[in-house]
Copies of this chain bind each other. A is one copy, B any other.
Amino acid sequence: MEVRSRDLDFGVRNGELGMGKNAIGRQMPDLLIEGGVAITMVNGEAPIPKARVLVSNGRIIGIGKVEEVRIPLDGQFEIIDAHDAIIMPGLINVHTHAAMTLFRGMADDLPLKQWLLKKIFPAEAKFLTPETVYWGALLGCLEMIASGTTCFADGYFFQDQTIRAAHAAGLRGLIAQGVIDFPAPGIPDPRENIRIAKEFIERWLGFSDRVIPGIFCHSPLTCSGQTLRNAWEISKEHQLPLQIHLSETVEEVNEIIKRYGTRPVPYLDRLGLVDGSLIAAHGVHLDSSEMARLKEKGAKIAHVPESNMKLGSGVAEISQMIEIGLTVGLGTDGCSSNNNLDLFCEMDTATKLAKVFDRNPMSLNAGVTLRMATVGGAAVLGLEKEIGTLEQGKRADIIVVDLKSPHLCPVYDPVSALVYSANGGDVKDVIVNGRVLMKDKEFMTVDADEVMGKVREISQRIGGAGSR
């Protein structure tokens, strides 16, 4: 077991820190996290008891046992106390629509088609504006911070606003402009959808090292082949991932077969879309040959079990996907079909659903599930060299999970505690790119009362007297 920096002696071996691909220079730490057990998620690494993490200029420059990672005597840095806590990589939500917090709990217990066509689409058409999307997305960011998510892949409309929100909150993200061949919020004429997406990408590309723009094609049914192909070409040109909803329901698969004479994956393949940049959300009704083709071409899966359960869509064959080596991350989907953005709860549900679906309690064990929500998510977004693990040189996207609550006592295995016992409310500190976004449960970047107040105002417009 190689532990790259566990024996790092900052004082003596400082000179080594500037070497290698992720050169970080002879930097002084600006942030210190210490006290608890660190789960690095580096393959094969055991938990580090009484760990210390040093951060400088947005990156991890040291991680190991407290006594093995020295602190420079003359250093000045912020300290995060992680005693009685777990230090781990921030969770990565690979599929959501953050601004849909606006519609949380507005329409439950309905068939997908009725839910989408009678409730969600009309509400979006009537109430989405740049202003409402901004506040909804910011509430989503706030909720993700509160529950330990440090990076998210988003697809929606008016996405300049979601980028603004992610910036204000300090989160990392792949934020994609929605493309659909119907009139959509901000795109009254669908013939403009590709142009608008292209301009969106050009406007934001390179703007930040935290937020990457992208395109999100709504689905192979709601976008024509030409639209899909155009979206793919723009994504390719800028080497960006392309997000799409894929095979969420049986009806959708059947309609594609009827319309195009083949199943969804071979259909997308024919268009040239199946490659390493494709992020397919849902994947509930993929057959074995479709999974094999996605794997062969390096396409990625965003697994969103709670949304698929709530809408009665079905159960993605996640064990089989993992077995054949498909890259899989975990997502919550939007708040109107979940109804929260808590990836800790999503992990718990994901593993239990796989076990009961497979009739095998060994399916998707705690370690595999936690990988899906961290390193798996990073790989889905193409960011595996930057985030997903706690390692020297990687971006400092770190969360601290408090263990002082009754439901997290005792701890025989911290990974089990995280997956089976914890919920998002146990997260106490959140760091993204070395910046502290939440400290001791206090939000450092966003005025939570203002955001919740704004969204309550908007919800009163949407739901009349329905909101409290």
Q: Give chain A's interface residues, CB within 8 Å of chain B.
A: 36-37, 49, 84, 101-102, 104-106, 108-112, 115, 139, 142-143, 146-147, 306, 308-315, 335, 338-342, 345, 348-349, 351-353, 355-356, 358-363, 365-366, 403-407, 409-414, 416-417, 420-421, 423-426, 448, 451-452, 455-456, 458-459, 462-463, 466-468
Contact = CB atoms under 8 A, between A and B. Distances in A.
Nearest to A417: B105
A340 B422 CA distance: 8
B411 A468 contact: yes
- Report copies per complex: 2
Nearest to A448: B406
A309 B468 contact: no
Contact of A467 (B306, B353, B410): B410
Residue among A139, A353, A403, A468 with most chain B CB within 10 A: A468
Given A420-B108, A421-B340, A409 B452 contact: yes
A420 B366 CA distance: 23
A403 B468 contact: yes
Nearest to A49: B468
B412 A361 contact: no
Contacts of A315: 356
Residue among A36, A101, A143, A309 with most chain B CB within 10 A: A309
Contact of A361 (B310, B356, B366, B413): B310
Nearest to A143: B406
Contacts of A102: 410
Contacts of A417: 105, 339
A138 B342 CA distance: 28
Given A340-B420, A362-B110, A463-B412, A355 B311 contact: yes
